[in-house]
Amino acid sequence: MLALLAQMASVPGSPAANAERAAAALAAHPDVEIAVFPELFLGGYELARLADSARPADCAELRTIAEAAEAVSTAVAVGFAERNTDGTFSNSVACIDRDGSLAAVYRKTQLFGAEREAFRAGDALVVVRLAGLAVALLVCFDVEFPEPARQLARAGAELLVTVSANMEPFGPDHELATRARALENRLPHVYVNGVGTIGGLQLVGLSRSVGPSGDVLAQAGAEEELLVALVARPGTDDERVDYLRHLPDPLDIIGGNV
C-alpha cells in the first residue's frame, strides 16, 4: 500500500481554503490508497478560533475533501475541530473511505494541556475499514500512551494512523513513541504531523511511515511536504516476538505504594 503523508501547514481559521488544499493534494497523487492530514488541519491548531473554525462532521468543507477522495478512489483521515450538537467541541478525525463516504469520526481521548479546557474528550477508540484495511486512529497525545494502541491492536487493527500537531520541544517524544507503538503491537504506523508556526506554537513535522519492527521506512523533514510512502504489512516472521500472542496475564504487585 502507498500512503500520502500530507505534512501541510493549515491556513489559520480558513476551513474552506484548507479543504481546497487537501483536495488539490489528493488530485495530485491519484496512485495512493490512503492520505493522512494533520491534527485539526481543517481549521488550524488555534484553540482561540474554535468558535469560528469548528465544523459539524457533515460540513461542506469535509464534503469537498470527500468528493476529491472519491474522484481518485483514495481513503482519507483528516483532523478537524468538530462542533457538537450540544455546543461543545471535539478534537476529531474524519475517516473518509475511497468511495467518498464518511466511514467514522474518531474523537481524541487523551487531551493535552489547554485542550482540556477547549474540547470534550472522546469516550471510545475507533477501528474503521479504510481502503480495505482495519485502520485504528490516534491523535497526537494519544500516541504517547501504550494502552490505546494496544487496545486497538487487540481489537483487530491492521494499521495505526496518528494525526498530530506536535510542537517543540516534543519532537523526540513522538519519534520514540511512534516507533514503540508499532513495535510493541507489530503493526505498521503512519504518523502525520503539522508544520509551521500557529497559535504561538512551532510544529515540528517529521511525519513518518514506520514498519512493524519499529523501523522508519520514510520520513519527512521539518517543512511542508507531500510524502508518498510505503505502508508495511502487519506482523513478524518470528513468532517468538509476536507480542500479541504472548501477552502476560495480570499479576499481583508486591510492595506497591510503599
What is the rounded distance in angstroms from the CA atom of residue 240 to the CA atom of residue 245?
Answer: 9
Q: 59 catalytic, yes or no?
A: no
For 210, half-sphere exposure in the C-beta direction (CA atoms, 13 angstrom radius) is 29
Of 39, 46, 61, 115, which is the active-site residue? 39
- Helix 60-72, helix 15-28: angle, nearest 10: 0
Q: Strand (E) positions, the chain?
A: 2-7, 34-36, 75-83, 89-96, 102-107, 127-130, 133-139, 159-164, 189-193, 195-198, 201-204, 208-210, 216-219, 225-230
Best CA proximity match to 124, nearest among 143, 108, 103, 147: 108
Of 82, 95, 108, 144, which is the active-site residue? 108
Q: 39 catalytic, yes or no?
A: yes
Q: 224 catalytic, yes or no?
A: no
Of 61, 95, 140, 144, which is the active-site residue? 140
Report the catalytic residues: 39, 108, 140
